[in-house]
Structure 1
């Protein structure tokens, strides 16, 4: 904590949950500095719920009084300047979100399940063919390629561009490779996605890019060209990176917390419980920017002035003892949460939540059924965290698979 009583949030912290414990103890809304930005942090479950649903807090950047002083090129700046539905409100938000709802209906997801299972089976075969006895990074070899390939199929990424796209998104998802996640890399990804959209205009398919292009052309320009691009870019990046974290975190929890896998294998708990408990206990998102006060408001006894930003602390809210009891810090499949906020709440509730849940459930059940002797290759305390304020996971998840079940 600095002299002005602001916590400095460290993107490279080795103890995110310890940091969050201290934030919750400091209060429901705590002044912090995040990537050079002074903001309030909503640390507790009830406070975060109030922030996500408060009528006088908006995601629209124009309400942030200090927006022009935000440091360029940071993760926070990339999020708050996004021009998709992510930062729209009211009628504008509904206009931008509506074209995507059909892609995530229960019927559409039911139709996707066989493809998700097929991709998962292919990854399991690939894992089984790796040299026995050597550690395998489950983030890179399993948790990452599944959601990446699913969203690539849904969006309509041509095969000719997939290798370069994967190289760029390797860096965004932090799964190794030769590239770092930099503003220049994000620009290269932006340019490549633009090229893919242009090609889809000339060669339509059964995919989301084609659906959105058709809507734009048939519906009097409901989506502008810039909005079309921003929507597709958001879908592609948000549509897989957080699911990578979810699957990685779930594998880590099940392997490093004793006896939890056996509950699944014995049929005492469904794999859906593992997904929900992971979402609560180790949220794929640590902190997410930003909501701005339209006028002076009071939340949990704290005055937020007009134009001030509020940061959502999802990982902190998931371990709030006031919401989940004195054992909130424990991963326990026998007591999965009745509710959590890891997908948000209200109008901005994550559109892809059902898809993420489905992918994680299929992935976990296939992995632990295929490799009954799977064990961690290193202790949990040796796993390096992601170097970002936004995502909560580890850079690697090395395991020893053991023989494949016969």
Structure 2
């Protein structure tokens, strides 16, 4: 049987995940660049494989015939040397070094900055004519996390437009190999410029911390590891939260009774955030993983050396995991999800994403109590990607 072509446009991400889930525990899919992988969309199987001892994140050691750069669109996902692409002692070493810069204390100390940026963005929106259609993503959901992450890493103002533009392009899985190669070059160049600037003028930011951080034995991040880590943290630290804020606001506008409930009881914003992460996971797939031994998946055998692509976003909508999985319901008791991963690769930036959403959402609805979705706003264009579930615009009417 020929592999199913994985939707690269983002238009059918959740629908295709349901089809693949129904087709079997693991289904062969075709990826850009002529690759074939096993897609796993059943929630509990995804969770199990995320911690399976015979599943690796390290292409250098676990992908037979792997050649860095051979598949241009995978360069920024697979060819990096970071905690994202490492296993075992290598992963522990890199995560320990990076963790020193991403401590809970540093994250919690960001609240005043997040509140300030939120207020500035809402002030700018308040200057627009009442009742005018506006793009909530462009005006609020996108600039808030990107400003926070750029401030956190000390990205100079003049470097930000080019860096964010290329980070956005990395998510596009419809690009040609030539475009993907150019995007990878531009992304590495952007991080090199940042590192150069911070070496010349270090500051109280995470790039400077990563440049100086070392382990108990004096071990430091190597140059490739440093660039790779910055790509991982700056990219992941912005896009996931853009999607979370946008999806949450749109879901509440579509469910006014639930919006009224959370406005009446502000302690329930956590429920909004977790239910949004369950139903609208910012990430559908993160390439790639590799079988290091034969794995039996409910009668389907994944062979050693095979590629795996796990559907993080499918877990929250799996009817074997959740009742009424397609409904947004902040009252549901079980809101478990895999939006930030599971196991040793659980996202270091999850607390920051939750903090930003918990500041941004109540402030948005307090400033614009009559905010409503623009006609057709729920069917805006999707990000051309099988990686993220975000939309490119979120039209609303300000009031």
Task: Give me the TM-score of the superposition, normalised by structure 1.
Answer: 0.90
Q: Which residue of 2 aligns with 1:132?
A: 130
Structure 1 residues 32, 380: closer, same or farther in 2, change over 3 A? farther
Q: Give the Cα separation in 2 of the matches to 1:88 and 1:191.
A: 23
Alpha-carbon distance in structure 1 between the residues aligned to 2:223 and 2:51: 30
For 2:249 and 2:212, locate their aligned partners in 1 and report how far apart those are by CA, in whole Å: 40
> What do the CA deviations read for 1:94-130 (whole angstroms, capped 9, x no partner)?
1111122233333222211111111111111011112
Distance 1:304 1:169 in 2: 33
Please state whether the residue corresponding to 1:311 is helix, strand or coil. Answer: strand
**In structure 1, what is the equivalent of residue 258 of structure 2?**
260
Q: Decide whether aligned partners of structure 1 residues 183 and 69 sit closer, same or farther in structure 2, where only a CA change above 3 A counts.
A: closer
Distance 1:24 1:164, change over 3 A: closer
Tell me the equivalent position of 1:401.
Answer: 398
Q: Whole-Å Cα distance in 2 between the matches of residues 300 and 376 of structure 1?
A: 43
- The answer to whether the aligner puts 1:382 opposite 2:375 as a matched pair is no
User: 1:7-406 to 2 correspondence within 5 Å?
Assistant: 7-35=4-32, 36-61=34-59, 62-65=61-64, 67-68=66-67, 72-74=71-73, 76-169=74-167, 171-172=169-170, 182-215=180-213, 220-267=218-265, 270-325=268-323, 327-335=324-332, 337-380=334-377, 382-402=379-399
Cα distance change on mapping 1:361 and 1:172 into 2, 3 Å:
farther
CA displacement 1:262-315 (0-9 Å, x = unmatched): 221121861111111111101101112221111112123321101001111012
1:195-214 C-alpha deviation (Å, 9 max, x unpaired)? 22112112111111111111
Whole-Å separation in 1 of the counterparts to 2:397 and 2:114:
24
Measure the CA separation in 2 of the matches of 1:16 and 1:103: 34
Distance 2:8 2:275 in 1: 24
* Residue-by-residue CA offset, 1:222-254 (whole Å, 9 max, x unaligned): 211111121112111111111111111112212
Partner of 1:240: helix, strand, or coil?
Answer: helix
For 1:337 and 1:358, how far apart are their aligned partners in 2?
Answer: 21
Summarize the Cα distance change of 1:134–1:293 in structure 2 as closer, same or farther, 3 Å threshold: same
TM-superposed CA distance for 1:374, in Å, is 0.6
For 1:346 and 1:131, the matched residues in 2 are separated by 47
Find the residue that maps to 1:82 and give its secondary structure.
coil
2:25–2:40 CA contact under 8 A, matched in 1: yes
User: Equivalent residue of 1:223, what SS?
Assistant: coil
Contact kept? 1:139, 1:396, Cα under 8 Å? yes
Q: Which residue of 2 aligns with 1:177?
A: none
Equivalent position SS for 1:141: helix
Helix, strand or coil at the partner of 1:387: coil
Measured in 2, the distance between the counterparts of 1:142 and 1:173 equals 20
Question: How far apart are residue 369 of structure 1 and its match?
Answer: 1.3
Q: Summarize the Cα distance change of 1:43–1:256 in structure 2 as closer, same or farther, 3 Å threshold.
A: same
Q: Tell me, what secondary structure is at the counterpart of 1:289?
A: coil
Structure 2 gap segments, 5+ residues each: 173-177
Once the two structures are TM-superposed, the CA of residue 163 in structure 1 deviates from its matched residue by: 4.0
8 Å Cα contact 1:116-1:150 kept in structure 2: yes
Please, what is the CA RMSD of the aligned residues?
2.4
* Counterpart secondary structure, 2:381: coil
Quote the Cα distance in structure 1 between the aligned partners of 2:374 and 2:70. Answer: 39
User: Are 1:156 and 1:209, in contact at CA under 8 Å, matched by a contact in 2?
Assistant: yes
TM-score (norm 2): 0.91
Flag the 1:336–1:391 CA change in 2: closer, same or farther, 3 A: farther
